[in-house]
Amino acid sequence: MPIQRKLIMAGNWKLFKTGPEGAAFVKELAACLGAVEGLDVVVAPPFTSLHQVAEACKGTAVTAAAQDVFWEEKGAFTGEVAPHMVRDAGAAWAIIGHSERRQYFGETDESVAKKARAVVDAGLAPIVCVGELENERESGLTEQVLKRQVTEGLSRMSAEEVAALAIAYEPVWAIGTGRTATPQVAQEACAYIRGLVAERFGSQVAERVRILYGGSVKADNASELMSQADIDGGLVGGASLEVESFAGIIEHSRP
C-alpha cells in the first residue's frame, strides 16, 4: 500500500514584508485556517523578519522557514547567515537553491549540496529547489537538468536524510510569469524526480520524500495540481503574499 505523504504548502515571501507585517499576516492566516490536519503550512520571510514571524507562528498551524542559508557556522563571511542562526531565530525549515538564488546570486549544484548538508546538521528541514529554464525545456533538456541538480544537490545526504526532506520542482519559465505547467507536465517532472531518488537512495526513500510544485500556483489550480500522484504540496510565491489568496490555496489543497 503506498505511503500517504503529508502535504506541504510553503509561501516564499521573497523581498517582501517587514517583521510587523509578517507577524500580522501569520496571525490573520492562522485565524482563517483554524485547525489544519494532514498539511504542513510554512512561510518564508526575509531574514530581518524571521524572528518576529516565527514568534507569531507559535501556537498556530504555521511554521517559519529561512529563504536561504550559508554552509559555514561562523567566519569571515560578510552578509551571510548560518543555519544555526536561523534556527535560533525560530525557523524550522530552510529553502535551498531557489531558482532566483541560482540565477542572480551564483548558486551552484555544489553550493546547494553544501547548504543542504549544513541545514540538516543544524537540525532544520531543507526544501531543495530544482527546475529547468525555458530554453532548456524547449531544447529537450529538462530531464538532463533535473538529473544533474537532484544527483549533485543531494550528494552529501544519507538515504534517511533524503527521506525526511522536501524537493521543490520549480520550472523557471513558470515562476512569476502567470504561466503554470499543466498538472500533467508538473506530474511528469515530479515523477521523474521521484524516480531519480529511487535510483540513488532506493524505492522506500523515494516513497517517503515529499516533492512540491512551484510556479504560479493559485487557488484555481491548486486542487488539480495537488491531486497528482507525485505532487506533495506547493512552493508559492506571489500568491502567498495576501492572506486571502494563500488561505484559498491551502483550502483547495487540504486532503
51 is catalytic: no
Cα(124)–Cα(91) distance, integer angstroms: 8
- What residue numbers bound the domain in which 152 lies? 7-253
Nearest to 108 by CA among 93, 126, 96: 96
Query: Is 190 part of a structural domain of the chain?
Result: yes
Q: What is the pLDDT of residue 2?
A: 62
72 is catalytic: no
Q: Which of 100, 132, 161, 170 is catalytic?
A: 170
What's the helix, strand, coil split of the chain in %, to 5? 50, 15, 35
Query: Is 242 part of a structural domain of the chain?
Result: yes
Query: Is 106 part of a structural domain of the chain?
Result: yes
Domain total in the chain: 1
Query: Is 2 part of a structural domain of the chain?
Result: no
200: domain CATH number is: 3.20.20.70
- Tens digit of each residue's pLDDT (9 = 90 or more) over 143-155: 999 999 999 999 9
Query: Is 153 part of a structural domain of the chain?
Result: yes
Query: Is 1 part of a structural domain of the chain?
Result: no
Q: Torsion angle of alpha carbons 226, 111, 104, 137, nearest 10°?
A: -50
pLDDT at 3 over 90: no
- Tens digit of each residue's pLDDT (9 = 90 or more) over 49-108: 999 999 999 999 999 999 999 999 999 999 999 999 999 999 999 999 999 999 999 999
Q: Which of 98, 100, 132, 252 is catalytic?
A: 98
Residue at grid coordinates 486532503: 255
How many CA atoms lie less than 13 Å away from 186 in the CB half-sphere? 32
- Tens digit of each residue's pLDDT (9 = 90 or more) over 182-208: 999 999 999 999 999 999 999 999 999
pLDDT at 1 over 70: no
